[in-house]
Amino acid sequence: SLPFGKWIALLAGRVEITRRGSGNIGATNVAREVGLPWGVVTLVLDVAKGFLPVFIVSRYYPDWRAGAVLVSLCALAGHQFSMFVGFKGGKGVATALGVCLAVAPLQAVMALFVFITAVVVSDFVSLGSMVSACSLPVFFMVTGMPALWVVAAVLMAGLICFRHKDNIRRLMKGEEQRWKKRK
């Protein structure tokens, strides 16, 4: 639940990130409003927020797959609905990436490739985030991940898309902010 983006924006730029840009505490908004280096720091910490707890549970309790799945969903929900910011939070993309890096690094890299491709083609981080999140359950199924992890990937994709509902509206209206602000 730790809102790294909020804290970094306050410490590095004296910016109340929930009142600037998209109002989101995630790496994209921090990068836009405080600077790319601080967005990268936020990204790394949000990835670690998903990676570390799932890695630890998977490492020390390798036969307890349900526990790792539960911890992964808790890490994502904690980021998206952080008690430190009134049960609001980030979109969860970086945290979900961290979860996947802990349990399925190949599939995480595949989803990251989808994200990068979608952002390069569309110039919309939000669209790349949703497309890559939705690709993850497919990658899990195709590569033979256990059914419990496929279900978890579907739930993570659903939560990520739910948190992007305002972005979806703006995309449909042609009002979504592009990453590079094309002319």
Residue 175: partners with Cβ closer than 8 Å, 6 or more residues away: none
C-alpha 2/C-alpha 49 separation (Å) is 8
Tell me the pLDDT of the chain (183 aa) as tens digits.
Answer: 999 999 999 999 999 999 998 888 999 899 999 999 999 999 999 999 999 999 999 999 999 999 999 999 999 999 999 999 999 889 999 999 999 999 999 999 999 999 999 999 999 999 999 999 999 999 999 999 999 999 999 999 999 999 999 999 999 999 998 987 654
pLDDT score, position 182:
53
pLDDT score, position 40:
97
3-state helix, strand, coil in the chain (%, to 5): 75, 0, 25
Q: Which of 168, 169, 117, 113 is nearest to 136 (CA)?
A: 113
Number of neighbouring beta carbons within 10 Å of residue 105: 10
Cβ-contact 16, 9 below 8 angstroms: yes
C-alpha 39/C-alpha 153 separation (Å) is 25
- Rounded to two decimals, the pTM is 0.93
pLDDT score, position 165:
96
Cβ-contact 148, 65 below 8 angstroms: yes
DSSP string, 39-64: HHHHHHHHHHHHHHHHHHHHHH-TT-
At 89, list the tokens. Answer: 């939070």
